[in-house]
Amino acid sequence: MIDLKDYSKKYSQQYKKKFSFERVLIKSRRERVLTSVKKHTHKNILEIGCGLDPIFQFCEDYDHYTVVEPSSSFAEHAQKLAQGKDGITILSGYLEDVYGSLAGKPEFDFIIMSGILHEVSDPNRLLHAINEVCQVETVVHINVPNVRSFHRLLAYEMGLIRSLFEKSEMEKKFQRNTRFDKETLFKIVEKNGFRVISFGTYFIKPFKNSQIEKIVEKNIVDISFLEGLEKLIKYMPEMGSEMYVDVKKK
């Protein structure tokens, strides 16, 4: 089980840095989520694990929006952000424990699980809970880090890691439990009763986060470097640092 206090503290520290590359990735991740949201029906949305930036801040055209957030401090923060907005419900807890309480709620058109599946101790249990609250036409958006990203492939060829599935410093810091490539991500969602309707990766990353932060802070590169990295994905479509699937029930 994840130590939520430790996780919440370390996650929040990223927002206090003068420059945090993780925040750059959060923005890119959110843009990918919103692209999928806009592509599908999304009158009733469920977001699982909202962190400090729940997506309802950036998406207005919904009737009802439910957040299930395991960190009590993040849930309280989401509650404050939701003040004055109609149709938002914030639940504090793990979806695996509280999904039964969602019975009788509006049927979800779209479910967001951004940056969560690789962090939980039992991803199969979480996917089962999601399946339980899905309807036939519900679209679920899932994104996770990609072990076959450019920077991990480079680290492997340089002899810095012995396996693409070796735990990184970031994964140890944030108590991340599972690593995925395209094949293993497809397998786990299919095993839990879903079919993939779209897949992609995003943001080419040449180095680990701390190295990118150093070269930006020392003015070795400017913001155009980061913009260029994001656009490189069209040349290396499966080597992005993160990947996503949109899925529906089988």
pLDDT in tens, 174-220: 455 688 999 999 999 999 999 999 999 999 999 988 899 899 999 99
157 neighbors 167 (Cβ within 8 angstroms): no
Has residue 27 been placed in a domain? yes
User: Rounded to 10 degrees, what is the CA torsion of 63, 82, 16, 28?
Assistant: 0
- Alpha-carbon distance of 50 to 42, in angstroms, equals 17
Q: Residue 128's CB: how many other CB atoms inside 10 A? A: 15
Mean pLDDT to the nearest integer, 135-163: 95
Has residue 50 been placed in a domain? yes
Has residue 215 been placed in a domain? no
**Domain enclosing residue 37, as ranges:** 4-147+168-204+242-249
CA atoms within 13 A on the CB side of 114: 23
Q: Residue 156's CB: how many other CB atoms inside 10 A? A: 16
pLDDT in tens, 160-183: 999 998 876 665 554 556 889 999
* 204 conformational bin, left if phi > 0, alpha if psi -120 to 50, beta if neither: beta
Has residue 39 been placed in a domain? yes
CATH number for the domain spanning 29: value is 3.40.50.150
Has residue 131 been placed in a domain? yes
**Which residues pair with residue 58 across a beta bridge?**
none
Has residue 192 been placed in a domain? yes
The pLDDT value given to residue 167? 75
Residue 138 predicted with pLDDT over 80: yes
Q: Across all residues in the chain, what is the average pLDDT?
A: 90
pTM for this predicted structure: 0.90
Has residue 106 been placed in a domain? yes
Number of domains in the chain: 1
pLDDT in tens, 87-108: 999 999 999 999 988 866 779 9
Has residue 227 been placed in a domain? no
